[in-house]
Amino acid sequence: MTISNTRVAVLVGSLRADSLNRRLAEQLRDNAPEGVTLDIVDGLDQVPFYNEDIDGETAPATAVALRERVGAADRVLAVTPEYNGTMPAVLNNAIDWLSRPYGAGAIVGKPFGVVGATPTPYGGKWAHGDAARSAGIAGALVVEDVTVSQSAVDVDPTADAEVQAKLLGALARLAEFAPETSAA
Ligand SMILES: Cc1cc2nc3c(=O)[nH]c(=O)nc-3n(C[C@H](O)[C@H](O)[C@H](O)COP(=O)(O)O)c2cc1C
């Protein structure tokens, strides 16, 4: 199937310079199927913690920019490790900003997927489950078969061909997802 001009906003859950998950996001961007463009949204650490008192007309420029980047995308992909059994706060905060205004946030109606790797046997599955549930409650359309929770214990996810194929397959399914035909 040819995918035509699908733009995917990517939210990386790690701020670390040498982040494994950031490298995976960059590899997905660089190897994306034809017609699929990945926009890795930088600066999530510059977006203040969500606070209804500063939202609305006075929303911080960084939050407005985040909403614009995601609003301009056709899909949203989180690429994230797990922190203490859930998603890192920086990703949770981004989802909170993207969930408002209530019912009209930038993530509302966007097909959403989540992938990532951790150096533990479970590959971050609780973080990925929580991110999907949170994004769904925020109004995103969670594409179930896009989730990849990859353990990096016995394999280097950035170098292993099977893992790379799995991640690219997930990206392709997210890009191909057709909300109007999947409800049946
Ligand atoms: C505060 C903190 C909590 C963590 N908690 C978990 C965890 O619950 N589950 C897990 O698989 N890894 C956990 N880790 C390990 C991370 O998965 C690991 O550091 C990973 O490489 C981070 O991803 P990154 O390379 O993209 O920065 C934790 C790391 C930190 C710093």
Once rounded to an integer, what is the mean pLDDT over residues 6-10?
A: 98
- Residue nearest (by alpha carbon) to ligand 1 atom 30: 83
Once rounded to an integer, what is the mean pLDDT over residues 75-104?
A: 98
48 neighbors 54 (Cβ within 8 angstroms): yes
Residue 76, beta-bridge partner list: 9, 112
With bands split at pLDDT 50, 70 and 90, how would you rate the model's confidence at 12? very high
3-state SS, one letter per residue, for the chain: CCCCCEEEEEEECCCCCCCHHHHHHHHHHHCCCCCEEEEECCCHHHCCCCCHHHCHHHCCHHHHHHHHHHHCCCEEEEECCCECCECCHHHHHHHHHHCCCCCCCCCCCCEEEEEEEECCCCCCHHHHHHHHHHHHHHCCEECHHHCEEEECCCCCCCCCHHHHHHHHHHHHHHHHCCHHHHCC
The alpha carbon of 22 and the centre of ligand 1 are apart by a number of angstroms equal to 13
With bands split at pLDDT 50, 70 and 90, how would you rate the model's confidence at 1? low
44 neighbors 74 (Cβ within 8 angstroms): no
What pLDDT, on the 0 to 100 scale, is given for residue 184? 45
Which atom of ligand 1 lies closest to the CA of 84? 8
Q: What is the chain's mean pLDDT, rounded?
A: 95
Q: Which of 82, 87, 90, 126 to mutate to test the pocket of ligand 1 (most atoms within 8 A of CB)?
A: 82
pLDDT of 181 above 80: no
Burial grade of 94 (CB within 10 A; 0-12, 13-18, 19 or more): buried
Query: Which amino acid, 72?
Result: A
What pLDDT, on the 0 to 100 scale, is given for residue 93? 98
Task: Give dist(CA 131, CA 93) in Å, integer.
Answer: 11
The alpha carbon of 149 and the centre of ligand 1 are apart by a number of angstroms equal to 13
Q: Which pair of structure tokens corresponds to residue 7?
A: 């733009």
Q: Which pair of structure tokens corresponds to residue 36?
A: 């699929």
Once rounded to an integer, what is the mean pLDDT over residues 89-105?
A: 97
Once rounded to an integer, what is the mean pLDDT over residues 132-153?
A: 96
- Ligand 1 site, residue 120, Cβ cutoff 6 A: yes
Q: Strand 141-142 vs strand 6-12: parallel, antiparallel, or unpaired?
A: unpaired
Once rounded to an integer, what is the mean pLDDT over residues 44-48?
A: 98
pLDDT tens for residues 52-63? 999 999 999 999
Once rounded to an integer, what is the mean pLDDT over residues 99-123?
A: 97
What pLDDT, on the 0 to 100 scale, is given for residue 179? 78
